[in-house]
Amino acid sequence: MVLPDREDAKTLAIAGTAYEWLATMGINRHDTVVAVGGGSVTDLAGFVAATYLRGIEAVHVPTTLLGAVDAAIGGKTGVNLGGKNLVGAFHHPTRVVIDLDLLDRLPAELKREGMAEALKAGLIADPALFDHLAEAGLDADLEFVVPRAVKVKANVVGEDFRESGIREILNYGHTIGHAVEIAAGLSHGHAIAIGMVAAGRIAKETLGFEESDKQDGAIARLGLPVHAAGLARGGVLSILAQDKKRDRGGMRMVLLRSIGDPVVLPVDGRSIDQGLEAIGVV
Ligand SMILES: NC(=O)c1ccc[n+]([C@@H]2O[C@H](COP(=O)([O-])OP(=O)(O)OC[C@H]3O[C@@H](n4cnc5c(N)ncnc54)[C@H](O)[C@@H]3O)[C@@H](O)[C@H]2O)c1
Ligand SMILES: [Zn+2]
């Protein structure tokens, strides 16, 4: 079954069409759904596999770098409902098959999206991965990068499958990044690159994270943005306030004491201002 492109795949209507299709083919409990595509495809197919006949096996074949190092790993599946990813299930694929040659030939823009998440993995848990990306940029060796980035996510998720504590560290750069993504209509990878710059500055001010400049250099080396200049501060703050409300109260952020040493801390308005200033949102 061919799915619509991008987020158009992640709807209850498409999930319904997929269930009908599986039923027509007489798929049973011992069959497997194989998802070949980007994160939107593995999210949808994973959700269908999680729920059809109360759960059949799923195999993911991610065809984007972001899918390989992030979306296909960790067992979160789902579809969108109004906001993003509101309906879903935890359902680990039995196998994830990654073709590095295919990923190496991706258009640069698509590669960059995944590199932002791979860099994040390095920053929170793998200094050697960070160093390699900082040096090689988009020419990074995927045989080195992909297994290491996958390992970071798999290790974190393995310790905290249903997301209460340590899994939070995967959200490095995602608090302000998410707000910038919505406010500026940026792609996810670009937005979290900017979010990491903001978080890096906050960490520098509050925890003495001295490698923040090195981090920003690596982001720029990958061709990812380090500024969101021109963006209205009020718009970003109101999205942050909505996120905060959803999290019931105080704003928490993932910060770094050093590369590979993350910590989740409450942040105040002054820190947010410092972060926004670092990305040119004043
Ligand atoms: N489940 C999770 O834990 C998790 C984590 C991160 C992201 N996600 C989800 O993943 C989705 C984003 O994934 P994505 O970045 O892979 O985007 P995507 O699946 O929307 O694909 C992006 C674009 O790349 C195209 N594409 C896919 N493979 C290609 C290839 N080999 N060559 C050329 N073009 C190709 C697609 O057709 C699409 O136009 C979002 O829906 C996001 O919510 C899920
Ligand atoms: Zn992300």
**CB 102 within 8 Å of CB 51:** no
User: For 31-77, what is each residue's pLDDT tens digit?
Assistant: 999 999 999 999 999 999 999 999 999 999 999 999 999 999 999 99
Over pLDDT 90: what percentage of the chain?
Answer: 91
pLDDT band at 269 (very low <50, low <70, confident <90, very high): very high
pLDDT band at 244 (very low <50, low <70, confident <90, very high): confident
**CB 253 within 8 Å of CB 199:** yes
Ligand 1: does its nearest atom lie under 6 Å from the Cβ of 200? no
Mutate which of 110, 170, 172 to test ligand 1's pocket (most atoms within 8 Å of Cβ)? 110
pLDDT score, position 84: 80
Enumerate residues 6+ apart whose C-beta is below 8 A from 205. Answer: 271, 274
* Exposed e or buried b per residue across 182-210, where buried means at least 16 C-beta atoms within 10 angstroms of its C-beta: bbbebbbbbbbbbbbbbbbbbbbbbeebe
* Exposed e or buried b per residue across 86-112, where buried means at least 16 C-beta atoms within 10 angstroms of its C-beta: eebeebbbeebebeeeebeebeeebbb
CA 208, distance to chain mean position in Å, is 26
H or E segment to which residue 278 belongs: helix 269-278
pTM of the entire structure?
Answer: 0.97
104 vs 83: CA distance, rounded Å: 32
Ligand 2: distance of its center to the CA of 67 in Å? 10
User: For 28-43, what is each residue's pLDDT tens digit?
Assistant: 999 999 999 999 999 9
Tokens 């990958």 locate to 222
pLDDT score, position 249: 66
- The one-character DSSP state at 73 is S
Ligand 2: distance of its center to the CA of 34 in Å? 23
* Type of residue numbered 180: V
128 vs 110: CA distance, rounded Å: 23
